[in-house]
Amino acid sequence: MTTSAGSAAAASTLSRSAPRRRSARDSGNGAVAWLFLPPALLLFTIFVVVPMGEAVWYSVFKWNGFGSPSQFVGLLNFELLFEDPVFRLSLFNNVLVILATLLIQLPLALGLAVLLVDRVPLTTTFRLIFFLPYILAEVATGLIWRFVYDGDYGLFAKLWEMFGAVGPHVLAEPDMAIYAVLAVSVWKYFGFYMILYIAGLQQIDRSLYEAARIDGASRWQVFSRITLPLLGSTVRLTIFFAILSSIQKFDLIMALTGGGPNDSTQTMVSFLYSYGLTRMDIGFGSAVGVVLFVMCVAFAFGYKRTVMRHD
């Protein structure tokens, strides 16, 4: 009886001290969080909030960037923006980039990830080969492929010459240039998503595959019933990254075509640069930046609250 009473008293003491230890630990974590929060908020305010606020302010003025903005025009810059056919073409090109990413780039990355997830001979080598394009800077990639597409001296021209034909000037054709850009974009970025998919596949319990094979499941059944559902969070994350990066496509466009020929490869960001900054129409360019920011924020919050709400 004495032993039982002592054990009960000890248990009661431990149960009372545990919440105190937890509260002390939580308060310590809270103190650390408050310690690191001000610098982060300061940096976020300086590099995000203040520039965005300035862009909103400049967007209601007609301003060339010199002096202080004084010619208030209200929403005229936004009206001109949505009436501009080049901007509408830029929106359409961004949609094409998103479709190419979702329908070609991500499925290609997932398929290669499924093939290369197992550690067999040469697997690491192929992973490195497919990932190498992502390591290249966008400007370097654009210059390399600009030479490849050259209709006089490029690789495409030489291949056409082998068949006795004259090589096309792909980047000089308004109807073909955007598709040449899409091909380069898929080539450059699919390796990054492949690595993400491989990381997700490696987290799946291999015993599930063994059980499925014992039950006689086909490869497609294993993929559709086991791999894809368990890889869902990774797929949703890659779609999120892919769409945001597609909306903000710029470096590759400028290195390959500069938005040409005849504005056929403009995207929203390259349109901002070409029609806002280079023409010193800062008010109009700020309006483009505001629209782009609203689109990105609306997509990010909407996607997180609907598609990724359980991730």
What is the structure's pLDDT at 67? 84
pLDDT of residue 144 exceeding 60, the answer is yes
Tell me: pLDDT of 8 over 70.
Answer: no
- Helix or strand (DSSP H, E) at 61: strand 61-62
The mean pLDDT of 255-260, rounded to a whole number, is 91
Q: Is residue 75 classed as helix, strand or coil in its secondary structure? A: coil
Given a cut of 70, whether residue 196 has pLDDT beyond it is yes
User: What pLDDT, on a 0 to 100 scale, did the predictor assign at position 267?
Assistant: 94
CATH top-level class for 77-306? mainly alpha
Which residue(s) pair with 71 in the sheet?
62
Integer Cα distance of 74 and 69 in angstroms: 12
Rounded to 10 deg, the angle between the 174-201 and 106-116 helix axes is: 40
pLDDT, position 16: 52
pLDDT at position 81 over 70:
yes
pLDDT value, residue 199: 92
CB 264 within 8 A of CB 178: yes
Judging by beta carbons within 10 Å of its beta carbon (0-12, 13-18, 19+), is residue 235 exposed, middle or buried? middle
Report the mean per-residue pLDDT for the chain: 86
Span 140-148, mean pLDDT? Answer: 91
Position 69 scores a pLDDT of: 87
- Predicted pLDDT at 10: 45
Predicted confidence at residue 289, as pLDDT, reads: 93
**Predicted confidence (pLDDT) per residue in 216-250, tens digit:** 888 889 888 999 999 999 999 999 999 999 999 99
Query: In the chain, what are the domain boundaries?
Result: 2-41, 77-306
Report pLDDT digits (tens) over 10-41: 445 444 544 555 555 555 566 777 887 888 88
